[in-house]
Amino acid sequence: SIDVSKLMRETGHTTLDYGFVNTAATQSAITYIDGDAGILRYRGYPIEELAEQKSFLDVAYLLIYGELPSADELGEFDTRIRRHTLLHEDLRRFFDSLPRDAHPMSALSSAVSALSTYYAADHDPHDPRRVELQTIRLLAKLPVIAAYAHKKSIGQAFLYPDNSLSFVENYLKLNFGLMAEEYELNPVMVKALERLLILHADHEQNASTSTVRLVGSTEANLFASVSAGIHALSGPLHGGANEAVLTMLRSIQESGEGVQRFVERVKRKEQGVRLMGFGHRVYKNYDPRAKLVKSSADEVLEALGVSDPLLDIAKELEQVALNDDYFIERKLYPNVDFYTGVIYKAMGFPERMFTVLFAIGRLPGWIAHWREMIDDPQTKIGRPQQLYVGPGERHI
Ligand code: ACO
């Protein structure tokens, strides 16, 4: 077989590909996307079936180990995760050093980075037993860290994890519970969050996953790689879009300008005005995740007894955009972020927590990709080329 990259290097050829639109950096057996047909599968299973029939931990197991777990395997995986939920007390206090108005995504990434200082003896990426241990630690502790980032931002006391609860139940209690004993779980919220996390669990080589792989390719540890991935996710063109969508919907509501007017501004490409939650590098059709989220939104809001005019604005925006030539020609459809914020808001999460929820969902994907990269004998340190366009040699 021909090593194309070697051949290109030897013959002095370089591909200039801003944004890696056409360049594959790896082979992967984890997630399949057909963006024209609107298909998404994890390890071969359609996203619709997984979201309907499986739990988030089932899906995490599938992504990381390649197969859906049996009941025993799932039980053991769940038990191992529950055993690792506690944070070191010093790490709990780490949040004291952050400003009260720290964005929870920055707090999350910083705390995951700090986590790597506690388990440094187990960072060897080539020791499968240690990789496994770090995997479980990260899955167990990230939701706790995420909940503390939330509590920090609203000035409430941190609860200890309640290991009698499932992954999602525990997460909700850590966020919304006020005292150790007092929190009544709402089954509608548990099911809806389980589903949303599954929809976010992987999306092949998106910006944050590529960041995790690039950092990991230097053999930096798993926590460091994921911390970098969290920062990459925070941008409004990526995971940060779910928060940006709510800001956009609210500004349309408050300005009273109306949906049609706003869309005209988007089409004129006014500085900084984009239809957030629309468009995708890969999907040139309706994002299959957005379809599922949209169908959940009405259901969840109704079950929670919440009515939100922002959901009506979102639906009207979608209708206007989908019938407008600007969006039709460019194949711009709602992506996963368009309707999620309305649901998170109905659950009681502040807007600044929306992208943190995305990060919890995406964690199994990041871990699966990091491990696939480490196990792939073809992995090399990631090191893009450039085309130099600066001055030729000159002298002072
Ligand atoms: N609103 C208005 N116009 C858009 C939008 C949008 N949301 N998205 C793309 N376009 C236009 C561009 O202006 C461009 O128009 P042109 O051909 O006249 O120059 C054309 O569509 C192609 O857009 P690109 O920016 O080249 O597409 P790219 O694949 O690089 O960007 C991205 C994809 C970043 C997602 C973009 O669609 C966007 O900014 N969307 C809004 C932010 C968002 O929702 N991000 C979340 C993505 S999903 C996720 O990460 C989970």
Residue 31, helix vs strand vs coil: strand
Q: Which atom of ligand 1 is nearest to the CA of 19?
A: 30
Would the CB of 266 count as within 6 Å of ligand 1?
A: yes
pTM for the whole structure? 0.95
Are 366 and 231 contacting, i.e. CB atoms less than 8 angstroms apart? no
Q: Which amino acid is at 106?
A: S
Calculate the alpha carbon distances from 316 to 121, 262, 300, 313, 319 in Å: 54, 11, 19, 5, 5
Given a cut of 80, whether residue 381 has pLDDT beyond it is yes
ipTM above 0.90, yes or no: yes
Strands (DSSP E) found in the chain: 31-34, 39-42, 45-46
% of the chain beyond a pLDDT of 90: 92
Ligand 1 test: best mutation among 17, 209, 332, 357, most atoms within 8 Å of CB? 332
Q: How far apart are CA 297 and CA 315, in angstroms?
A: 11
Would the CB of 58 count as within 6 Å of ligand 1?
A: no
Q: Which atom of ligand 1 is nearest to the CA of 266?
A: 2
Would the CB of 130 count as within 6 Å of ligand 1?
A: no
Are 51 and 199 contacting, i.e. CB atoms less than 8 angstroms apart? yes
Would the CB of 33 count as within 6 Å of ligand 1?
A: no
Given a cut of 80, whether residue 274 has pLDDT beyond it is yes
**279 CA to centre of ligand 1 in angstroms:** 5
Position 4 scores a pLDDT of 78
For residue 236, count other CB atoms closer than 10 A to its CB: 16
Summarize pLDDT for 301-344 with one digit per residue, the tens.
Answer: 999 999 999 999 999 999 999 999 999 999 999 999 999 999 99
Given a cut of 90, whether residue 255 has pLDDT beyond it is yes
% of the chain beyond a pLDDT of 70: 99
Asked about 280 being catalytic, the answer comes back as yes
**207 CA to centre of ligand 1 in angstroms:** 14
Q: Which are the contacts of 44, defined by CB distance < 8 A and separation ≥ 6?
A: 32
Average predicted confidence (pLDDT) for the chain = 95
Q: Residue of the nearest CA to atom 37 in ligand 1?
A: 279
Would the CB of 237 count as within 6 Å of ligand 1?
A: yes
Q: Residue of the nearest CA to atom 26 in ligand 1?
A: 281
Are 323 and 263 contacting, i.e. CB atoms less than 8 angstroms apart? no
Would the CB of 177 count as within 6 Å of ligand 1?
A: no
Would the CB of 161 count as within 6 Å of ligand 1?
A: no
For 208-257, the DSSP string reads HHHHHHHHHTTT--HHHHHHHHHHHHTSTTTTTHHHHHHHHHHHHHHH--
Asked about 3 being catalytic, the answer comes back as no
Summarize pLDDT for 286-307 with one digit per residue, the tens.
Answer: 999 999 999 889 889 999 999 9
Q: Residue of the nearest CA to atom 27 in ligand 1?
A: 281
Among 150, 287, 337, 369, the one annotated catalytic: 337
Q: How far apart are CA 41 and CA 336, in angstroms?
A: 15
Given a cut of 80, whether residue 183 has pLDDT beyond it is yes
Return the closest-CA partner of residue 360 out of 93, 110, 144: 144
Are 222 and 215 contacting, i.e. CB atoms less than 8 angstroms apart? no
pLDDT band at 220 (very low <50, low <70, confident <90, very high): very high
Q: Which are the contacts of 192, defined by CB distance < 8 A and separation ≥ 6?
A: 296, 299, 300, 343, 347
